Amino acid sequence: MRIIVDEARCEGYGFCAEAAPHLLELDDEGDLKVLSEEVASGDAAQAEAAVRVCPVAALRLEP
């Protein structure tokens, strides 16, 4: 499973990074960085939570 950020839609709310700190973080500039596009099976729940909390639906999971 991979986590994909639609960069045109992402506005940097950062709720996803709070939900999935293994996978995503806001850098010092306030821009979202994907730490790991590949989602390890142990992080699947975090990845799903990250997608759920994005207010502008800028994240999605792909098999």
Partner 1 sequence: MTSISEIPSLDLDLFTDDVLTDPFPIYERIRNAGPVVYLPRYRSYAMGRYADVRAGLADWESFSSARGIGLNDLANEATQGMIIATDPPEHDQLRDVLASRLSPKAIRELKADIERRADELVAPLVRQGAFDAVNDLARAFPISIVLDLIGLPQNGRDKVLGWADAAFSASGPPGPRTDAAFPLLEDQLAYLSSIEPDQLTPGSMGRAIYDAAAAGQIRQESCVPLMSAYVTAGLDTTINAISNAVWYFAHNPEQWDLVRQDPTLIPSALNEVLRIESPVQFFCRVATREVDVDGLRLAAGSRVMMLYASANRDERKWEDPTRFDVRRNPVDHLAFGYGMHGCAGQGLARLEGHSILAALARRVERFEVGAPVRRINQLIRGLDALPTTVRPVAETA
Residue ranges that bind partner 1, judged by CB under 8 A = 8-9, 11-15, 29-31, 52-53, 55-57
How many Cβ atoms sit within 10 Å of the Cβ of residue 29? 7
* Maximum separation of any 2 CA atoms in the chain, in Å: 30
Q: How far is the CB of 61 from partner 1 (least distance, A)?
A: 14
Residue 1 or 53 having the CB closest to partner 1:
53
- State the nearest-atom distance from the C-beta of 6 to partner 1, in Å: 10
| Residue (16 or 39) nearer to partner 1, CB | 16
> Which amino acid is it at 10?
C
Residue 62 and residue 19 in contact, taking contact as beta carbons nearer than 8 Å:
no
Structure tokens belonging to residue 7: 């960069």
